Amino acid sequence: MKITWFVVITLGVIGVGYAAFEYFRPEFPVQRTITNKDGRELVASIEGRAGDIIFVDRISDRERFEIDINSLTTKDRLFCLRLRERPAPAPEPEVVVPTEDPYIEVRKQTIKDLRERSAMYDKEIRSGSLPVALDTRRREQMGQIDMEIKELESDIETYKYRMKK
């Protein structure tokens, strides 16, 4: 009778332990800093596992790597072995942002810089702390900046029109 209770309790403890192991098993993707045996660290998102290989995406640039679990520190190796087996999903396609024509890009950046300078001058003028001569000079400079911006915008439109032909 004592052996029966011992077996029942032992099986119960094993069952609860296995259930807890399964319940607390990490789910993909797992973000983690993994360290190899040489002490080199990689901040990565673990995307999958197949046998002794894990598939990770480096967080900084989303580059995909396959890493042998046996090359990791004991702590990281045990963590990775707890992961379910799952093939890594296909990497996300790189989104290519079409760039504008360099001629237009340079002029738009110049316009942006001029607007920032104009806003700074306007703030100085509205503060009321400028001497009269500098206040007058800032107002003249703002007028020149407005003219430059209009000229650059006109250049962009002319360029676009010519490129259509």
Contact 45, 57 (CB under 8 A): yes
* Two structure tokens written together for 110: 């110049």
* pLDDT score for 27: 72
CA-to-CA separations, 32 to 58, 98, 109, in angstroms, rounded: 10, 33, 39
* pLDDT score for 119: 92
Tens-binned pLDDT, residue by residue, of the chain (165 aa): 566 777 777 766 675 655 555 555 667 678 888 898 998 888 888 888 888 888 888 888 888 888 898 999 998 888 888 887 877 777 666 666 667 788 888 999 999 999 999 999 998 888 888 898 989 999 999 999 999 999 999 999 999 888 886
Q: Enumerate long-range contacts of 113-119, CB under 8 Å, 24 or more apart.
A: 114/145, 114/148, 114/149, 114/152, 115/145, 115/149, 117/145, 118/142, 118/145, 118/146, 118/149
Across the beta sheet with 64-68, the strand order is: 30-35, 41-50, 53-58, 64-68
* pLDDT score for 22: 54
* pLDDT score for 95: 65
CA-to-CA separations, 58 to 53, 54, 64, 136, in angstroms, rounded: 15, 12, 7, 55
Q: CA-to-CA distance for 52 and 80, rounded, in angstroms?
A: 9
